[in-house]
Chains A and B, each alone.
Chain A
């Protein structure tokens, strides 16, 4: 909102008019232009109020009620929140989601950084490689890829046959409560293209003379990476960590499709949002589901806050150095 209004205020003054206008007229004109600005924005404002802010306020209220979608909500205070901690399936969903975030995010970022460093060097056919590695990020979230994944990781399919070559007899990962979550991790890691592109941009910004100077002083590749590359791209790394972590917490589609909408077996892929969905839309426990949604928001906010706090220790912005 603010931006649009400022745009009007900051517009280069019409010299013809400023010369002749009195302060009062100017004020009137300003107000009129503000009004026009607001009117232009009104579809967006209406959309925000009706489709985002309204439902959010409603869900905050429902979080403190017993609401089955049909009868009017009954105020029950913090019962939904205390119930969560006694609910074994809720605990399981927290465990599954935490495992997914903690394993998937670092793997994905490591792969993204590694490939970005390879692609940062000038080589033939570089554009092609970049496009090829980025492609999974474009299609990876789709339902059809979920179905492909389900098939790849079934008994006797490609993954099963490949791992048997190496003497593993786990069988397909889908349907196996000990393994199915890793097929979801594989799916998110496979989509490393988006953070890779951001890393690539960051790597291109590192001044070449730093490497040259370090090499002159006898620093090996590892030392150059640790003392130059990593600190120089730390803001980009921070950005990627933040984005991917928040994104991972919200996993739903892949878990839902790969497990054939069961989020199982044995709740092995019962990610947080999937349990929320089941409670809200299958069991009609909309109050409990709303409370879960706010709990997730709090958890993500907390993790984000910790990350922001930690960046003082490891993220280097260039102005600090000067």
Chain B
């Protein structure tokens, strides 16, 4: 009997031990550390969206940073754009966002409203981060209601990216100040001469419709909602649908099959409205030569363009605001980092980096020239405000616009659907 009891006790203890170990492991998994180790070293997490090419450049830049600040370690991770924001939202909701991350104007109010973004103001006052030497007007992109929520790393503007070979073959030569009528006539010429649709689907791109509205005294967004009427959009989409049916704009079916590649670089369209720095991507993706053309206008002059920007933001929950500020400061000002990054995230935002990097390849030279020309033409305005929910409204615009162009939804229903989804996004 005595022996038996011992065996049982041992069994019980073992079982308890195993459970404790398992639970212990689980507990370690859950418990986050604050990133400070015993020797005073600090680790900060840096997340961004992009692809392999950008990853290489960023890792090189971080190596420079860690050399200058040996006590700060930077841990990185990256995804593509949509996955990045899905992951970020979940992390931020769980109170565990990265300490520092890539950001864009469409997300500033959304995450400010939810208390996720660090106001860098106090770090600027403390001298850990400098806002000097930024190119004119760029810093403003990161400001919301007097708070500095993001620091621009590069600036970009919407442009018309064209397949140079196709444009040449069709004999179309875009000039500054050309009008929408001229643009749509050009699409027809291109289609007649080359059988390639002239445009990949301009009518569902939020940032382009924004420019068109700005040319007409409106804008896509106001501070808390939409800046246009259902009748405006009905007209815009009715015309768009007509042009798809006429074959001068790429069918959304083809666009869907080409994704994640762009239909422009896949050779299924001759031009696409997008950010000027995207020529870098399309040149890597496609087989033709890609260049930049001016945005069509309503009055022969005003393009409605403005400088937008990719930014670095900090988390309001970071335990190391000082180190985060030092990191951002280094990434935007250090000339060596500028040389490594080039125009991958837009034209370098500070003069420190802008002057240090001299592009040698045609594509990057053309981007620089485009922004110089745009600035010279005096068409750059103040950026459109982006309310909380702007990101959701943008993707709904793209999706519903595509559905409409497939002929599956009547234009009037599509417009109603967009307005109701946008309202839901703003009030979420």
Chain A interface (Cβ < 8 Å from any Cβ of B)? 17, 20, 29, 32-33, 35-36, 39-40, 42-43, 46, 68-71, 88, 154-155, 171-172, 174-177, 259-262, 264-268, 281-285
Cβ contacts A to B, 22 pairs, < 8 Å: A17-B1, A40-B18, A43-B23, A46-B23, A68-B428, A69-B89, A70-B92, A70-B116, A155-B257, A175-B255, A176-B253, A177-B408, A262-B259, A264-B256, A264-B399, A265-B252, A265-B256, A266-B408, A266-B409, A267-B403, A281-B90, A284-B93
Pairwise interchain contact B408-A20, C-beta atoms closer than 8 A? no
Check if B2 is an interface residue, CB within 8 A of chain A. no
What is the bound-complex CA distance between A229 and B86, given in angstroms?
51
Pairwise interchain contact B257-A175, C-beta atoms closer than 8 A? yes
Pairwise interchain contact B15-A36, C-beta atoms closer than 8 A? yes
What is the bound-complex CA distance between A214 and B381, given in angstroms?
88
What is the bound-complex CA distance between A177 and B406, given in angstroms?
8
Q: Which of chain B's residues 1-51 have a Cβ closer than 8 Å to chain A?
A: 1, 4, 8, 11-12, 15-16, 18-19, 22-23, 26
What is the bound-complex CA distance between A172 and B399, given in angstroms?
20
Pairwise interchain contact B15-A260, C-beta atoms closer than 8 A? no
Check if B417 is an interface residue, CB within 8 A of chain A. yes
Pairwise interchain contact B253-A175, C-beta atoms closer than 8 A? yes
What is the bound-complex CA distance between A78 and B150, given in angstroms?
40
Pairwise interchain contact B256-A262, C-beta atoms closer than 8 A? yes
Choose among A39, A176, A268, A282 the residue that contacts B15 (Cβ–Cβ < 8 A).
Answer: A39
Check if B254 is an interface residue, CB within 8 A of chain A. yes
Q: Which 3 A-B pairs give the minimum distances between C-beta atoms?
A: A69-B93, A175-B256, A39-B15
Chain B residue at minimal CB-CB distance from A268: B408
A20 partner residues in chain B, CB cutoff 8 A: 1
B234 partner residues in chain A, CB cutoff 8 A: none
A33 partner residues in chain B, CB cutoff 8 A: 8
Q: Which of B92, B252, B428 has the most CB of A within 10 A?
A: B428
Check if B217 is an interface residue, CB within 8 A of chain A. no
Pairwise interchain contact A32-B403, C-beta atoms closer than 8 A? no
Q: Which of chain B's residues 405-428 have a Cβ closer than 8 Å to chain A?
A: 406, 408-409, 417, 424-425, 428
A154 partner residues in chain B, CB cutoff 8 A: 257
Check if B67 is an interface residue, CB within 8 A of chain A. no
A174 to chain B, nearest CB (A): 6
What is the bound-complex CA distance between A174 and B116, given in angstroms?
39
Q: Which of chain B's residues 390-411 have a Cβ closer than 8 Å to chain A?
A: 392, 395, 399, 402-403, 406, 408-409
A265 partner residues in chain B, CB cutoff 8 A: 252-253, 256, 402-403, 406, 408
Given A20-B1, A281-B90, A155 contacting B254 (CB threshold 8 A): yes
**Total inter-chain residue pairs, C-beta < 8 Å:** 99
What is the bound-complex CA distance between A267 and B417, given in angstroms?
13
B254 partner residues in chain A, CB cutoff 8 A: 155, 175
Pairwise interchain contact A36-B402, C-beta atoms closer than 8 A? no
What is the bound-complex CA distance between A235 and B245, given in angstroms?
54
Pairwise interchain contact A39-B406, C-beta atoms closer than 8 A? no
B93 partner residues in chain A, CB cutoff 8 A: 69-70, 284
Check if B376 is an interface residue, CB within 8 A of chain A. no
Q: Which of chain B's residues 263-311 have a Cβ closer than 8 Å to chain A?
A: none
Pairwise interchain contact A282-B256, C-beta atoms closer than 8 A? no
Pairwise interchain contact B23-A266, C-beta atoms closer than 8 A? no
A32 partner residues in chain B, CB cutoff 8 A: 8, 12
Pairwise interchain contact A264-B403, C-beta atoms closer than 8 A? yes
Pairwise interchain contact B402-A88, C-beta atoms closer than 8 A? no
Choose among B19, B255, B406 the residue that contacts A266 (Cβ–Cβ < 8 A).
Answer: B406
A259 partner residues in chain B, CB cutoff 8 A: 256
Given A175-B256, A260-B256, A265-B403, A284 contacting B11 (CB threshold 8 A): no
Given A70-B93, A284-B428, A285-B428, A266 contacting B257 (CB threshold 8 A): no
Query: Contact flags (1/0) for B353-388 with A, using CB distance below 8 Å?
Result: 000000000000000000000000000000000000
Check if B146 is an interface residue, CB within 8 A of chain A. no
What is the bound-complex CA distance between A17 and B1, given in angstroms?
8
Choose among B18, B19, B417 the residue that contacts A88 (Cβ–Cβ < 8 A).
Answer: B417
A258 to chain B, nearest CB (A): 11
B25 to chain A, nearest CB (A): 10
B68 partner residues in chain A, CB cutoff 8 A: none
Pairwise interchain contact B408-A172, C-beta atoms closer than 8 A? no
A249 to chain B, nearest CB (A): 24
